[in-house]
Amino acid sequence: MDQLEVDLGGRPVLRDINLRLDRGELVGLLGPNGAGKTTLLRAILALTGIRAGRVLVGGKPSRPGRCEIGYVPQRHEFTWDFPISVEQAVLSGRTGRMGLFRRPGVADWRAVGAALDRVQLTELRRRPVGELSGGQRQRVLVARALALAPRILLLDEPFTGLDMPTQELLGDLFTSLAGAEHAVLMTTHDLVAAVDTCSRLVLLNGRIIADGHPADLQDAALWTTTFGVSDTSPLLKLVKAI
C-alpha cells in the first residue's frame, strides 16, 4: 500500500497509509472502533473507493475477483441459518472463480477438501452450518477463504466472542498459515492474543501510528495516541504486563 487515502461519506478515514505485507508474516492490526481497520481491509480488497494512492498485490493493482486475496469477514456477516453444509459453505468461496453458469469440478472439490483439512473440519463437513459453535464457524470462514488458495489472508476480528482455548487454536492455525507462505493480516481488539500470536503489530487510528515487532512497542505514548486513552488506563497496564 502506497500513500493510501480513503474517504467514507465525505469524511477522511484513512490518511497516508504505507504498509507492506510479506509472505510468512502474521500482522495484527490494532486500533479503537472507528480507526479504519475494516475500511483498510476493504480498501485492500478494492471494495471501497480510494481517494489517493494505490494498493498493489503481487505488483498489480487490487480489484475484486482476483484470487490472490482470501477474505474472512466478521462472523455476523454470514447467514448462519442458511440450510447448507460445511463443505458447501466452503465451496461457495470459489463461486467467483468458477465463473457464471459453471458447475463445481474436481479441482474445486479438491480445494475444498484441502481447506477443510487445513482447519481440521473434515469430520464435520456434512454438518449444517447452523449447528456449529462460534469457533467452528470461524474456521468455516477461514476454510472458505483458503479454498481460493490465496497468497494473502485478511481476517476481520477473528477472535471476537470466542473463549481462550478456541482463540489459542485459531492463533496456532494463523501462525501455521503464515508459516506456509501466506501473508496474514488480521484486525483484532484482543491485545493478549495479538501480542501472543502476531509477528508484527500495526497500530492504526486514521493513520499508522506504529509498526513493529510486539516487543518494540513498549512506549506508552504509542498506545495512548492510538486508542485516545489516559495515562492511567488499564490498557497500559495490560501492555506492560505482556
Residues within the interface to other proteins (CB under 8 A): 45, 47, 63-66, 69, 71, 73, 77-79, 82-85, 88-89, 92-93, 95-98, 100-101, 103-104, 120-121, 123-124, 128, 130-136, 144, 163, 165-166, 169
Nearer to other proteins, 77 or 219 (CB): 77
Nearer to other proteins, 72 or 201 (CB): 72
Least distance (Å) from other proteins to the CB of residue 163?
A: 6
What CA dihedral angle connects 59, 198, 210 and 151, to 10 degrees?
10
Please choose, from the candidates 206, 185, 171, the residue with its C-alpha nearest in 3D space to the C-alpha of residue 32.
206
Provide Rg for the chain, Cα atoms: 18
Least distance (Å) from other proteins to the CB of residue 131?
A: 7
Least distance (Å) from other proteins to the CB of residue 134?
A: 7
Contact (Cβ atoms closer than 8 angstroms) between residue 209 and residue 228? no
Nearer to other proteins, 132 or 178 (CB): 132
Nearer to other proteins, 31 or 93 (CB): 93
Least distance (Å) from other proteins to the CB of residue 196?
A: 17
In b/e form, how buried is each residue of 110-135, taking b as 16+ CB within 10 angstroms? ebbeebbebbebeebbeebbeebeeb
Contact (Cβ atoms closer than 8 angstroms) between residue 144 and residue 116? no
